[in-house]
Amino acid sequence: MSDTKKGKKLFVKTYGCQMNEYDSDRLFEVMGEIGFSATDDMSKADVIVLNTCHIREKAAEKVYSELGRIKLVRNKRLQEGFDTTIVVAGCVAQAEGREILSRAPVVNIVIGPQSFHRLPDYIFSAEQHKQRIVDTDFPVELKFDHLPERTTKKLTTFLTVQEGCDKFCTFCVVPYTRGGEYSRPVDEIASEARALAKAGTRELTLLGQNVNAYHGADAQGQAASLAQLIEKLADIEGLQRIRYTTSHPNDMTDDLINAHADIPKLMPYLHLPFQSGSNKILKAMNRTHDIDKYIDVIGRMRTARPDIALSTDIIVGFPGETDQDFEETMQLVRTINYAQAYSFTYSARPGTTAANMDGQVPKELASARLQELQALLKEQQFAFNQGVIGQKLPILLEKYGRMDGQLVGRSPYLQLVHVMADKSLLGEIIEVEIVDATRNSLTGQMAGQMGKVDREALV
Ligand code: SAH
Ligand code: SF4
Ligand code: F3S
C-alpha cells in the first residue's frame, strides 16, 4: 500500500484548541509513514483533512462553509484527472458522526479524535472500494500506542499528556467529544519529549483538558502528579522551557504551585479558567469551585511565584446571568488582574444540560457584556505589557519577523517580543531589554553584546 502513496500530498486545516494542533501534528506523522507529505495548498492535496472543533456553534458551523469551498476544489481537481479524499476529523466528527455524510455529500471519511491513527487504512478503503466511512468509536486500544515516533521539527511544541474530561460543566461538549479522563504513563511521555528535544524542540507545552488532574502511572505503576511529571521532563537535555495548559482550580495542588518556585524550566505563566465571577452561576455551571477557592489558589500561586502571569477563560451570558452576576465577573477580573484572557458569549450546545436551562440570555445583551468585559481585559493586558518595559528578559527566539533582520520570540510570560537579531540566533534564548510595549507585543533590544548566553542561567 505504501508504494501507491509515494509523492501524495496531505492538507490539514486545524480548528479549536491546542489539543487539535497536537493531533494534527501527529496526523502528519501517521500519514508520513505511508508516504504523504504536507502541503499548504489545498488544490494540490490528494487528501484534505478538516480537524474540527465543536465547542461553540460558530466553530462547528465554520466546517460546513469550508466544505462548500472544498467541493469546488475537488471538482476542479476531478476535471484535471485527480481524485481527492475529504476527511472531517476532530470534535465535530465525534459529535455529529454520520449526520455529516448526509449534510455534506462531498465528505468521504468522518473520524473522531480518538481514532485518527486509523486514517491510513480508511484512506485506502475509501480510494479502493469507494466506501464512505464513519469511525466515532472510543476504541479500547489507545491511539497513543499506534502513533509513530515524533518527527515534528518545531522549536515550540505541544505534547498531550492527559485527555478527556469527567467534570461535565453544564455548558461544555468536551466530555462528549473527547471522552473520559485519561492520563498517559510517565515513561511514554518522557520518551516522546526526548524525541522532540532531539528533533529541535526547546519549549514544550504539556496539554490536557484538565492537565493538572494528570495522574499517569510512573515506572513503578504509582500515580504521578503533574508536578512530578514536570520535574522528570525538566531533566531532558536540550529542553529549555516547560509550560502546561489547561488547568482546573480544583486540581491546583500545592506540589504544582511549589513547582513554579522550584523548577527553573517551568515558566511563570498560569492559564486558570474561572468562567464566571458569580457563585450562583458557577453552581449552575457545575464548576464545583467557588470564587473564594479561586482567589485562594491565585494567592498561593502568587506567594510561590510573585511574577506569575495569569490568564483565564470567561463565559458571559450563561443562562440566568443577571446584571449583578455579570458585575461580579467584572469585579473578579479587577481583583485578580490578568496578563491576558479568553472570553466568550455563551453558546448553547446540543446535548449539554445548560442548553435546556431557563433564563437564556438574549444575544444582544450577552454581546454588550462581552464588549464591556473585553475592554477591561484589554486594559489589563496593555498594563501588564507596559509593566515589563525597562526589564531584561530571556527571550526564546522562535521565528523570523516581518522586517528584515528581525526575529520574534516569547518572554517567560508568553509575550511576543520583536527584536533585531542575527538569524543564527533562532532557537536560542537571549537576553533582551524591553523598550516598548503595545497590547499585543513587545519590542526589545539585545542587551549589550551578550547575544548567545548561558541558557540555564536565563530560563
Ligand atoms: N478544560 C478547560 C476548557 C475547555 S474549552 C476548562 O475546564 O477550563 C475552552 C473554553 O471554551 C472554556 O474554558 C470556556 O470558557 C469556553 N467554552 C466552553 N464551552 C462553551 C460554550 N458552550 N459557550 C461558550 N464558551 C464555551
Ligand atoms: Fe469542559 Fe468543564 Fe471539562 Fe473544562 S472542566 S473540559 S470546561 S467539562
Ligand atoms: Fe474544540 Fe474539541 Fe478542543 S471541541 S476546544 S477541539 S477538545
Q: Which of 428, 440, 441, 418 is nearest to 396 (CA)?
A: 428
129 vs 112, which has greater pLDDT? 112
Peptide bond before residue 246 is cis, with ω within 30 degrees of 0: yes
What mean pLDDT value characterizes the chain?
Answer: 94
Query: What does CATH list as the number for 392-457?
Result: 2.40.50.140
The answer, yes or no, to whether residue 351 has pLDDT greater than 60, is: yes
Q: The dihedral of CA 111, 115, 117, 118: what is its sign?
A: negative
Comparing CA positions, the residue from 384, 409, 413 lying closest to residue 398 is 409
The bound ligand whose nearest atom lies closest to the alpha carbon of 22 is: 3
109/49 Cα distance (integer angstroms): 9
State pLDDT tens for residues 52-109. 999 999 988 999 999 999 999 999 999 999 999 999 999 999 999 999 999 999 999 9
C-alpha torsion sign, points 375, 378, 384, 387: negative
State which H helix or E strand residue 101 sits in.
Answer: helix 99-103
Region 400-409 average pLDDT? 95
Residue nearest ligand 2's atom 2 by CA = 169
Residues 271 and 251: beta-carbon distance below 8 Å: no
Q: Given a cut of 60, is residue 346 above it in pLDDT? A: yes
Atom of ligand 1 nearest to the CA of 345: 24
Q: 243 pLDDT band (50/70/90 cuts)?
A: very high
Report whether residue 17 contacts ligand 3, using a CB cutoff of 6 Å: yes
202 pLDDT exceeds 50? yes
Query: CA-to-CA distance for 409 and 444, rounded, in angstroms?
Result: 10
Q: Is the per-residue pLDDT at 449 higher than 60?
A: no
* 385 C-alpha to ligand 3 centroid (Å): 29
Closest Cα to atom 4 of ligand 1: 209
Nearest listed ligand to the Cα of residue 54: 3
Question: Is 217 in contact with 185 (CB distance < 8 Å)?
Answer: yes
> Ligand 3 pocket check: which of 165, 174, 315 to mutate, most ligand atoms within 8 Å of Cβ?
174
- Give the per-residue pLDDT at 138: 85
CATH superfamily of the domain spanning 143-386: tm_1862 like domain (3.80.30.20)
Tens of pLDDT, residue by residue over 137-167, are: 887 668 898 899 898 899 999 999 999 999 9
pLDDT, position 457: 43
Calculate how far, in angstroms, residue 231's C-alpha sits from the geometric centre of ligand 2.
26
Q: For a ligand 3 pocket test, name from 20, 21, 114, 207 the mutation site with the most ligand atoms within 8 angstroms of its C-beta.
A: 20
Quick one: how many helices (H) and strands (E) in the chain?
Answer: 14, 19
Q: Which of 97, 99, 39, 53 is nearest to 349 (CA)?
A: 53
Protein residue whose Cα sits closest to atom 4 of ligand 2: 209
Starting from the edge strand earliest in sequence, which strands make up the sheet with 37-38, in order? 37-38, 9-14, 47-52, 85-90, 109-111, 133-135
* pTM: predicted TM-score of the whole model, two decimal places: 0.95
pLDDT reported for residue 152: 86
Confidence at residue 458, expressed as pLDDT on a 0 to 100 scale: 45
User: What's the pLDDT score for residue 140?
Assistant: 64
Residue 315 alpha carbon to ligand 1 centre in Å: 8
Nearest CA to ligand 3 atom 7: 174
Do 44 and 92 form a contact (C-beta atoms < 8 A)?
Answer: no
- Kindly state if the Cβ of 347 falls inside 6 Å of ligand 1: yes
- Among the listed ranges 77-91, 114-128, 371-385, which one has the minimum average pLDDT value? 114-128
User: Model confidence over 416-448: pLDDT tens digits?
Assistant: 999 999 999 999 999 999 999 999 999 999 975
* Cβ within 8 Å of residue 431, ≥6 positions away: 392, 393, 394, 395, 446, 447, 450, 453, 458
**pLDDT for the residue 332:** 98
Please choose from 55, 313, 352 the residue to mutate so as to test ligand 3's pocket, defined by most ligand atoms within 8 A of CB.
55
**Domain extent listing, the chain:** 9-135, 143-386, 392-457
To test the pocket of ligand 3, the residue of 91, 342, 352 to mutate (highest count of ligand atoms within 8 Å of its CB) is: 91
Distance 85 CA to ligand 3 centre (A): 23
Ligand 1 proximity of 349 Cβ (cutoff 6 Å): yes
DSSP class of residue 275 equals B
Question: What residue's CA is closest to ligand 1, atom 14?
Answer: 313
Q: Which residues contact 375 (CB under 8 A, 6 or more apart)?
A: none
Pick the CATH number of 9-135 from 3.40.50.300, 3.40.50.12160, 3.40.50.280, 3.30.1950.10: 3.40.50.12160
- Give, using CA atoms, the residue closest to atom 5 of ligand 2: 167
Q: What percent of the chain has pLDDT over 90?
A: 90
- pLDDT score at 127: 84
Q: Average of pLDDT values for 333-355?
A: 97
Nearest by Cα to 275 from 231, 204, 326: 326
- Identical topology for domains 9-135 and 143-386: no
For cell 511574577, name the residue. Answer: 307
Residue 151 phi/psi, 5-degree rounding, is -125, -5
Closest residue CA from atom 3 of ligand 3: 17
pLDDT average, residue stretch 188-217: 97
Give Cβ neighbours of residue 323 (< 8 Å, ≥ 6 apart).
none
Instruction: Give the pLDDT confidence score for residue 150 in this predicted structure.
Output: 92
State the residue for C-alpha cell 548566553. Answer: 453
CA distance 167 to 248: 10
